[in-house]
Each structure stands twice: as structure tokens, then as C-alpha cells.
Structure 1
Amino acid sequence: MAGEFIGPVLLWLAVIKALQLGTWPALDRTLGSLAAAAAYPASVLLFTLLSWYCGLLGLPIWLALLPFLAAIVLAGSRGFYTRERLRPALPWDLAFLVPFLFMLEVRWINPTISYAEKFMDHAFIASIMRQPIVPPLDPWYAGGTLDVYYYIGYWMSGVLGLASGVSSTVTFNLVLPTVLGLAVVSLYALGHLLLDRYRWLPVLLLFIPNPSAIYHIAIGDSWFDVLWGSTRTIANTINEYPLFSMLWGDVHPHVMSFFNQGFLLFLLVFAYMRWGTLSMRGRAILCGLAALALGSMPGINSWDVLVYAPVTLVFGLLIWWRYGNLALDKKRSWMMLAVVPPLAIAAYLPFYLQLDSPGIGGIGIVPTPSEPVEFLLVHGFFLAVLVASCARDIRKRPYLLLAAVPFMLAGYPAAAVVAIPLVYLLARRRFAATDTLAILGLLIVLITEIIYLKDNMGETYFRMNTVFKFYLPAWILMGTASLAIVGEWLQSVRVGRRMPAGMEKVLPALAVALLLAAPFAINVGFGYGSHTLDGAAYLEGSHPGDAAAIAFLRDLPGNHIIIEAEGGDYTYYSRISSFSGIPGIIGMPFHEYMWRGDGGRISERSADVRTIYEQPSRTVDLARAYNATLLYVGVEERDRYRVSIPADALELIYDARGVQIYRIPA
């Protein structure tokens, strides 16, 4: 069964490589030996942006490929792709390919679009691939679009699927391998800036669990409980870390953003460390890349920009201070600060103008902060490294420990823990790249202990989204800094104690072998495994009627709106719109309520769907009110409703395996 997916995977990889090859020459003079690495994430972001504008202007998506292909031809004619240049770049290809293959194995073992947010994730991808228009159609709200949500990550996924000719149900399982590969390349490149040896260490932040997972292993929990329990450690919140997010398998905004976070940090640190050596052209390219990464964040995962816009401003100020002494100097060291933010907004300006999201409802003070033990079970590894790195400073100036006292007195003990390494790093006032990353990560977790962003998650889970969405950037910032510090410690070991050169080559090969064997050694199937890359393949066994009908609908030409049963969130209902990409009247109503609020009249739509199925005298007129063209009657519809439809007034266009699909007359 695996053999039938070799072709789609190779086509997908060919598109990724073509994008990278087309972008690499433009970055070569600016980024030097790191250009081939940066070209991987940069090219995917650039292709996403260009294809999005094609969709906005009503142009074919494939036109976005032409600039990359033209760049390859031009660079090739000038002799850019020589053996001398390609061979040193091979490690970057492997840095992408190895984690890609690791996640491909994980997705092959457990590919099903069947639980958590997967129905939603695929529904958005399928909708975009069926009709790549801007803004995309909302598959769960007929007549509405995805302008209520940050959908650019789904757009990226969908257009890569269209460009490679891969179906949406296979595309779904190629996205996370791609995200992980791009994230590894970005962090490995960042490691080249921060470390002279052990440059792979920052990559580990993507593969290590939090201390809570170790605790759950120690008490003998099952594998599933280890993963789930370690991400629900702080009461009434979600504390995901990258390894869990990848294994869990939701193609969700907070996961798709990993690579872009790493890429932006690479660019900011590169600018901070090498601005003085760059030409004016190089500085402009670096600003453009940073604007591309930062400008993509609100569309991929809007929460990230609340972190990385300030991060960008901090690095912009540091660059200006380091190279221009905060003056209008000849090196234009103020460019990162003055050019990147407005250019980032301009990149996706139509997206912001179209956005109709309710946003947040304000800022609140956290009344019940994290318990210290729970907090340390989430952040303990990185905090331990950061505190240890400040040990000498603590001995010299122990009085700075008093910085924790105000937080203790105010009832925020976890914030008091964070304040200790934070105040010592600030007191150093050296603001090296590693220190700055650590300071920024610590500030995030400190702030989220004290304030939260108000949303509609209710009183019990008032803090859930704030912790969930901000802890992941904090993990990446603190993880990068902590692992770089570990690398500095290892580098400081006397030469005689250093690892033999041969061993340094053997260990990476062993690590690769273990990584690729790991998915088969541990349970990553969670009981859903079906050993395929087609996320809908399981329907053949569990829902054969739906499987055949969905295949029919996916090939049905024309623009349609379909009526199907609605049965709440995180259920198998709304499966036809999810798997086909054809919009339904209403699906997963709480999600739609979160995006549209009371103005969406969500409960009214759910009631209308019931009426369509149960009151034949109103079926046609009510269906027409939503411009519906198709009516689906399957097992779920019969279980959910007392189905009584006016079959004589409808055109039966499909009848097989207990499923009927009717065309509603215009």
C-alpha cells in the first residue's frame, strides 16, 4: 500500500525543491553559506504570498510557480548550480529530508482525519483546493468565507497540494512533515549563528518533551496518558510542546507556524550579528525576508504576531544601538526597525482589510495563577539551564534575588521563579543574541502569569488560549537560548576531553537512524492507524457508504452548497463538507460561534437543517434560501433526524450503499 504514495510524495518534494532552488540564488550573496538553508522556508512563504495574490486577483494558482522556474533557468544559464556549490549545500537538504521522513512515517502510521481538530483542518484545505479563491469559502457556513479566521497556513498547504497534483486527503498528511523539515532547517541555521560546534542543539527543542512527560513516564502512565497528561499540566489550560503537537497530528495554525517562527528568529539573529558586513542590497534583502516572515504570521497564526512583532522591534532596536548608536548612520542600522514592520503589514494588507474576526475582548488580570510545581513541570528544563547559566552572577549579586519578592507577595509564585533568571540576564546588560532570546522567552511566560486575553472560552477556561498560544513561542525562544547555552558549555570543555572527530560523525548518523526507527518503536497510532497517507482511507471500512459518496462528490463539477446533518463539534457529523470541501449550511457550530458570534445566527442554521430533513413542505424553499444545490441523506442523517423529504420534488443524482444525494431544483 505504501508504494502507491511514492509518486505523490516525490512530486511534493520536487515542488519544495524547485521553490528552494529558485530562491537560493537571490539570497546567496547576502546569506552566504546559509543561503541554501534560508531558501527552504523563504521560498515556501514567498510561494504562499504570490499564490495568494493570484487567488485574490482571480488568476490561476500555477502562475505563482513561474517566477521560481524562471529564476532556476536564469541561475542555471549563469552557472550557479555547480558541483562546488551544491555539495556544501547537501547537509541542508538532509536537514530538511530527515525530519520530513520521520513525520512522514508518523503520518503513515496514523493518517486518519478522524479526531481532534483534523476534520476542521482538512475541511479548510479541501475547500481551498476545490476553489482557490480569496478569501476562501467557509466549508461549514454556506455563503460565508474564511475571512473570520487566520487561514494562510491552510492556503499554503492547499496550494502546495495543487502545485504537486496531490489530493487533499494526502496533502493533509504531507503538511506536517514539511513543517517539521522547514523548522529543523531554520533552527539548524540558527545554530550556525549561535555556536561554533554542536550547531544541531537548537533543533532538539522540536524533539524533547517537557518535564511533565518524564513525570508521567516515571509513575507508569500509558503512552497516550504521557502525551495527553503532559500537555494538560497547568490546570484548565493547554501546555503543548512541539513534539506532542507533531505526534498528535493536527494540521492546525499553532503547529504550521513552527517553521516561520524559527525562520524569523534566524533572520533577526543574523541581522544582529552580521549587519555591519552586509552590503546595502544585502540589508534590503534581509529586511524583505524579515517582513515576509513577520507579515505572514497574522495569517498563519495570529497569536504569534503578538509575540514576534515586539521581538522584531527589540532586535531592531538592538541592531540600531549596536551598529549606529541610535543615530541615522551610513550603515542604515535603523532599517530593521523602520522598514520591517510597515513592509510586513503591506505584504498581506488585503488580508487584514478583509479580516472580519471578533478578535479578543480585552485584557484581564489572572486571578488564579499557575501552581509552581505545575509550572516547573512545563518549563523546568529550560529554567534550570537559564538559572544555572546565571549562577556566577547570583554569587556576585545575591541581592537581586529580591526581585522575586514582589511577585510572591502579590500571589504569583510561578512569576517569582521566572523573575530570578530574568533579572540577572537583564542586569548583565550585554544583550548577546542568546541572552536576548532567553530574556524574551522569560518575559512571555512572566506576562502570561499575570494577564490573559479575554475570549469566549468561559469562566473555567478563561486562560486556556492565552497559555496555549503564548507558551509555544516561549518554548521556542527559551529552548533556543537554553540549548545554545548547553552548546557553549560543551564548547568550553578542554580540548583533551572533547569528543573524537570520528565520533562526532557517527553520532549524527546514529541519531538519524534512531529518529527514523522511533515511529515504529513507539505507539504513534493512538488506535487510529491505517498505514496509508490517505487520511480518508479508513472510511472504506468504517463508513463505506460515505466513502463512495464522497468520492462521487469530489469529482462532481460545478460550485455547490450541500445540506448534511449537523451534530456538534469534534464529531463525525459535517463529514461530507469536511472531506469534499463543498460548503454545508452549518458544521461544528461552536467553532462557527467563536468566529462569528451571535451575528452568525448559528443555532438558527442548525434548526433550519433539521427542518429541511423533517418537514417536507419546507424542504425546497428553505434549501433555496441558503442557495443549496445538493441534499445528502446517509446513515448519520437518518440517525440524527426523522428524515422525511419530498423526493418527488428533488432530482436523485446518486444512490448507492445506503446513501442518496439529491439535486435541489433551481
Structure 2
Amino acid sequence: MKKWAPRVLLAAALAGLSAFLLKGDVWTFWTWWLLAFLMGMVAMPVTGRLFAGFEDKGWMFSKVLAITVTGFLTWFLVTAKILPFTAATCIGVSVVCAVGCGVLYHFQGKNGIDCFPSGKVNLIYGEEILFFIFFLMWTYFAGFRPQAYGTEKFMDYGFMEAMMRSTTLPARDLWYSEGTINYYYGGQYFAVFLTKLTGSKVELTYNLMRTFVAAFAFALPFSLVRQMSVDRLKGSLTGKKRCVPAVAGIIAGLSVSIAGNMHYVVYSKIIPWLQKLQGKEADSYWFPDATRYIGYNPDVPDKTIHEFPCYSFMLGDLHAHVVNVMFVLFLVGLLYAWMRSVRMREAVIMKPGRKEFWKKQLLIPHILLAAVMIGMFRFTNFWDFIIYFVVTGGVVLFTNIVQFDGKVKRILAVTGVQAVEIIVISYVVSLPFTLQFDSMFKGVGIAQNHSMIHQLLILWGLPVVLTVLLIICIIWEKLRGGANKSLYKLMKAISVPDLFAIVMGLCAIGLIVIPELVYVRDIYENGNARANTMFKLTYQAYMLFGMTMGYGIFRMLVAARKKVFKVVSVIGLVLLCWTFGYFGNSVYAWFGKVWEPSEYKGLNATSFLSNDFTEDVAGIKWLKKNVKGSPVVLEANGDSYSGYERVSAMTGLPTVLGWYVHEWLWRDDTADLNEKSADIESIYTSLDEEYVKELLEEYDVSYIFVGSKEREKYGEALNEDVLKSLGEVVFQDEVYSTYILKVNK
């Protein structure tokens, strides 16, 4: 049998399995996987240079780079009013970028530069198979609970539908027809960009985007930590130890993408076991409790949030912090590639003269790209803009300390200039967003509440202990080995992967400490002051910890000289793997019997309408099919997280006012919102025909939806005769009393 035959057979088996599991959805699934594969391959002339020291040349990172560059350029050109937001624009920008990569590849070939991972076919094949498996797994699970209904899914799905309808960005706010979306909508934008690029439908790609991100949440940490392990342990990788980098990468990928936290271990396993020993009935476990612990058990006023990727992928939200997972992981990999290249260049190349010095420091491709990405975070997930500016700053500082021989003035000068460079570039590239965005920032407050020590230990004890242990192990080894005790000499003696792991670990620890000290003030200040700050900061801490633990455990197991480090690493590995059980628990609790393919419902995110909004489903479908552009469709407004705004959410058509608390957060003008709420009630209930007509004209209402929620809210006060006198019934449900009026203008 040919050497490549097993690979072909495995690929064919996975293709057949995906067709069997996903049924009709498999075509869209294959389209997205193939698009990512082709875009990544085309971008390799760029990626291969940025990740030149990686054995795979950044193969997995290349997919995200291609999506980032083409998507961001499209967004920039659209928001700058240069091009319309259409499928043709998305395709055109992507083709131009591909041509640019082709030209670059041509010149690289002439200069003998190999940007592809030649000789590493098995590695590339293995990474691609792992990516496909995780993409397929999450997509299959999503088909058991595909509905874009519950939590904030109406908002996420509605943003996508609104942008699909719009040729400009930001799109018209579906819940505030007089304005555009005033929120960091970049996550949903990239989902729409890929939807338009592939000619897919939002009904399917809403779910496909979150499973796509979930696959990267495994693949990118795997690639990064595997390479870090190769770099650190290459002298020790003999015999059975050769598999250590791959295993470390797998553990890191699993830690970021499917692991829970120790709350699962304590409350799902240990406490029920102790209860059984005492003859008591064991408590049941509900997987969201791992994200709602501080403030909830015990019940105190200080309610907080500490979510992590697996919970997000399970729940099915397509919020900003979820989509941005793949972008922040790319940035972390990029920073390691830069730190590594600096150290390698230091060893083989003479330092530049004075005339070239500042030019080289200001034109570093990795730093320039990092600056652009940090700027992009302002509209994909604003919190990550701040977080990863600090993380990037930490990497830059540590790298400069080493490369400039501990010379304080030069270190501070270069680091300061590069920090300014990053800030300036990030602000410039995000201008099309910030110029149209009204900030919700109200300042920083001092935390009045603090988490209980045992709760912090349960949530963060394992990663903090392993991180601190790794740092102690690294420093102890260098000091014991005779390294100079000065900061520069010590850092110079530490290997690049060890130093990078220290940066990640310290940043993660800082992110969990900050909410105990301060919080960002917003409209939730009087109820859950720390909730949003803890949520956004610890979400990123979780991912940084996942990669730090994946690297640190195996680094200590193989290379640590003192037995205590190895023993504690084994214990840590056992506990970390135990948290992976959260995945199985939550899959069963949320998706049900996933081992029975016949229970697969499909990826259509709007399929719930037939059961949950039986009276309205036909009217919603009529609007999606027959109404083009973004005319205003009036529907009853209601509270956030409720079934209200089902029409605007499912069609992307703007209504006068939608979920109250969300618009309060985005607009911070309750007087305006209250006025609009009263006007909507008047339109639906007033018997003054002229007054109703004036309000319809004021809000430029084109259609009026009268269905289940309107009857539920206004009941007998509903002024149907008045409404029908002001428009024409263009849709009437044959079974239910739902109808749609087209307003006379």
C-alpha cells in the first residue's frame, strides 16, 4: 500500500461521516471548511514569513490571518463609504488579496525563500484532520439545539440579518430604527462576511460560525503549544518523548476549547461522592453553575459572571467575545513567533547601526500586524482591545529587556515608542468605527465587593498554582545553574518558550486580580457592578491559563530537575483532565442524546419559530421573502431576553424600539426610550386616527405587524380598525389572526 493511502482513506472516511451526520447541512459545512483551507493556503506566503520558525510555518494560523485581512479590509472600505457591503465586494477584496499573495510567492521563489512547510506533510495533515474533527463535532452537536432563541441569541442573529440586508456599515439598528448599531458588532460582521463570501444563508451560518470558532479554539492552542514544546524540549525529545509536544498541544487545545473549571470537579464529583458516603441524596449538577458561582452560592448581592469558551460553544451565543476567540488566539501566536524570531536573529545577525536602528524597530511586521489587530478589537470586542494591548505590551517589554542587554534607557525608549506606535495605528485603523460609536464607558470604580477565598481557589486555584509552580521551576533552575541574579541576566538565560509562558501566566493572573480591585462602570452598576468586568477579563484569563498549563505541565515533567515539580505536575495534569468531564456533562444536559444521529435536527437557527411562535411564523417568513432593504416594521416592544422582537430579530428589519435594557446600555437615554415605548403603545391602542398617522410618519413606519405578542401586550385595547384604515393588509395568516399592514404613504 502506498504511504499516502491511509491518509486518503481517513480523509474519505471523515467526509463520509460528515455527510452521514450532517445530512443536508453538509454542503454548507464542506463549503466553509474548504474556504478556510484555500484561504489559508493562499495566505501562506505571508504567514510563512511571520511564523518562519514554526515547523508548520503557521499553517493553522494562516486560515485566521486570511479571514482577518480580507474581512477587515472589506469592513474598512465599506465603513469608509468607498465600497458597498455586497457579496461582490467581499469576493473582490478577497481576490485582490489572493493576487497580492501570489505576487509575493513569485518573488519569494525567485529569492529561494520557502514559505510552505516542506518536509512536514504529516504534521500539516494531522493538524488539518484535527481541525476538521473538532469542526465536525461541534457542528453536529449544534444540530441538536440550533435555535437562535434564548439568552442574547435574538440580538446576535438579528445583527447578522440586519447586516445581510445592508449595503452600508454599521447597519441600521434593528431595535432602534432612527439610528445605526451602536455596539461592537465585529463578531457578527465576520460571520456575515463569510456568509456573503460563500453564498450561504444566515439561518445556517449563525450556528456554523460558532462551531467554526470552536474548532479554532482547539487548533490554534494546539499549534502554538506544540511549537513552544518543540523549541524548549528539542534536546530531550528522544524515544517515547518525541510525542510530548503533540500531547502538550492536545492538552492545551482541550484546555481552551472543551474544559470546564474545578467547580465541575468539586460540585459534580467530590461533593456528591461525599454525600453518598454519608448516606445522603447526592446533589444534581447543572453546567451553567460553573459560570455563575461567585454571588450565587451562597446567594449574595454581588452577582458575577465567569464564563469560558466551552460554555459559550455549548450555549450557542454568537456574541462578540465568542467570535473574537480565534482572533485573540492568532494574536497570541503572532507574539510568540515575534519573540522567537528576535531571539534567533540575535544569535546569528549583527545588530544594526544607528541609522537603521529606529527604522527596524518601527517597521517590525509582527508589531505592525499586532497593532492593526488590536485596533480591530475595538469593533470586534472592545474589552479585548484593552486586554491585549497590555498583553502585547508585556511581550514587547520582556523581549526588549533581553534583546537590549538590560540597558534601561534603551529598553524604555524602544518599548515606549513601540507602545505609542501600536496605540496610534490601532486608533487610526478603528476610526471608521469609533467616529460612529457613542462610548458606553462611564469610568472606573473601586470594587466594593470581593470574592470569597474558597470560591477563588475553586475557580482559579489549579491554573494559578500550576503557573506559579512553572515560574518558580524556571527561575530556580536558572539560579541553580549559575545565572546572574540581575533581571536581565536571568531573563537572558530563560528560553523563549519559558519566557513567553511566564508572560501569559502573569497576564492571566492579573486579569483575575483586577475585578477584585476595580471595575468598569456601566448601567448594571447598581445591581451587578463587577459582573461585566469579571466576565470579559476572566474569559481571556481562562484561555491564557489553558495554554500556559498545557505547556507548563509537560515542560516540567520532561525538563524539571527537581522531583517535586514533576509530582505536582502529574497531580495538576490529573485535575486538569478531570475538568474535561465538564464537556461530556454539558453536552448531554444541553444537546441530549447526541449518540443517536436520528435525533439531529439540522442547523437552521429559525426552526424554532414553528413551535414557539406558531401564530407568527408565516408572517415572518413572508417579510423575509418579500421585503427588500431595511424599511421599518413596527412590532410590540418588550423586555430583554424575552420573546418580544421576534420579527426584527429573525428578519433583520428595523423596528422603532426593541429590547429595552439593551438599548439602554447602547444609548444611555431612558427618557428617549420611554417616549418611544409610549408612542408604540399609542400606535397600537389610540383611537385618534390622526395622531396614530402622525406617529407612523414620524417614525417612517412602512409595515405594522399584528400577531401573538401584540395581542398579548395590548389585548382588547388593540385598535385594529384604526390601523386597517391607515394601510393595506398585505399578509393574512389563513389559520391564525396574524396579519401585516403596509402603511399608506
TM-score, normalising length: structure 1 = 0.84
Conserved 8 A contact 2:165-2:629: no
Query: Which structure is larger by alpha-carbon Rg, 1 or 2?
Result: 2
Residue of structure 1 in register with 2:260 after alignment: 209
Distance 1:584 1:474 in 2: 38
Shift of 1:250: 0.8
**Alignment RMSD:** 3.4
Residue of structure 1 in register with 2:609 after alignment: 539
Residue of structure 1 in register with 2:65 after alignment: 42
1:252 pairs with 2:327: no
Shift of 1:660: 0.8
Shift of 1:597: 0.9
User: Aligned with 1:663: secondary structure?
Assistant: strand
User: Aligned with 1:601: secondary structure?
Assistant: helix
Distance 2:61 2:132 in 1: 15
Conserved 8 A contact 1:46-1:292: no
- For residues 388-438 of structure 1, the C-alpha deviation after alignment (integer angstroms, 9 at most, x for no partner) is 446669999xxxxxxxxxxxxxxxxxxxxxxxxxxxx99976681111211
1:636 pairs with 2:709: yes
Partner of residue 217 from structure 2, selected from 183, 192, 197: 183
Shift of 1:636: 1.4
Partner of residue 67 from structure 1, selected from 96, 118, 123: 96
Shift of 1:75: 7.5
1:149 pairs with 2:183: yes
Distance 2:466 2:221 in 1: 19
Distance 2:379 2:335 in 1: 20
Residue of structure 2 in register with 1:377 after alignment: 458
Shift of 1:540: 2.0
Distance 1:343 1:7 in 2: 40
Distance 1:314 1:449 in 2: 21
Residue of structure 2 in register with 1:200 after alignment: 250
2:404 maps to amino acid: G
Distance 2:117 2:224 in 1: 25
Question: 5 Å matches for 1:110-121?
Answer: 110-121=145-156
Shift of 1:369: 0.7
User: Aligned with 1:209: secondary structure?
Assistant: coil
Residue of structure 2 in register with 1:502 after alignment: none
Conserved 8 A contact 1:99-1:180: yes
Distance 1:372 1:281, change over 3 A: closer
Distance 1:395 1:50 in 2: 47
2:422 maps to amino acid: V
Partner of residue 728 from structure 2, selected from 638, 651, 662: 651
**Structure 2 residues not aligned, in runs of 5+:** 1-20, 110-114, 231-244, 273-280, 296-302, 350-359, 478-486, 562-576
- For residues 205-234 of structure 1, the C-alpha deviation after alignment (integer angstroms, 9 at most, x for no partner) is 222111112222124599994311111111
1:524 pairs with 2:590: yes
Shift of 1:10: 2.1
Distance 1:602 1:541 in 2: 31
Distance 1:224 1:187, change over 3 A: farther
Residue of structure 2 in register with 1:301 after alignment: 381
1:606 pairs with 2:691: no
Conserved 8 A contact 2:287-2:585: no
Conserved 8 A contact 1:654-1:661: yes
1:29 pairs with 2:49: yes
Identity of aligned residues (%): 22
User: Aligned with 2:739: secondary structure?
Assistant: strand
Conserved 8 A contact 1:563-1:632: yes
Between 101-110 and 380-389, the greater mean CA deviation after superposition: 380-389
User: Aligned with 1:127: secondary structure?
Assistant: helix
Between 264-273 and 430-439, the greater mean CA deviation after superposition: 430-439
Conserved 8 A contact 2:473-2:560: no
Distance 2:469 2:40 in 1: 40
Distance 1:81 1:271, change over 3 A: closer
Distance 1:25 1:560, change over 3 A: same
Distance 1:109 1:629, change over 3 A: same
Residue of structure 2 in register with 1:228 after alignment: 288
Distance 2:121 2:623 in 1: 45
Conserved 8 A contact 1:593-1:600: no
Shift of 1:524: 2.5
Partner of residue 551 from structure 1, selected from 587, 609, 621: 621
Residue of structure 2 in register with 1:665 after alignment: 744
Conserved 8 A contact 1:263-1:293: no
Between 69-78 and 228-237, the greater mean CA deviation after superposition: 69-78
Shift of 1:385: 1.4
Residue of structure 2 in register with 1:408 after alignment: none
**Structure 1 residues not aligned, in runs of 5+:** 397-424, 495-510
1:13 pairs with 2:64: no
Partner of residue 322 from structure 1, selected from 402, 407, 411: 402
Distance 2:171 2:526 in 1: 33
Partner of residue 367 from structure 1, selected from 445, 448, 451: 448
Distance 2:265 2:310 in 1: 13
2:364 maps to amino acid: A
Alignment: residue pair count:
615
Distance 1:38 1:119, change over 3 A: same
Shift of 1:335: 7.9
Conserved 8 A contact 2:50-2:334: no
Question: 5 Å matches for 1:38-437?
Answer: 38-56=61-79, 57=81, 58-59=83-84, 60=86, 61-62=89-90, 63-71=92-100, 88-146=123-181, 148-196=182-230, 197=245, 198-206=248-256, 207-218=258-269, 219-220=271-272, 225-235=285-295, 236-277=303-344, 284-325=364-405, 337=419, 339-359=421-441, 361-389=442-470, 432-437=499-504
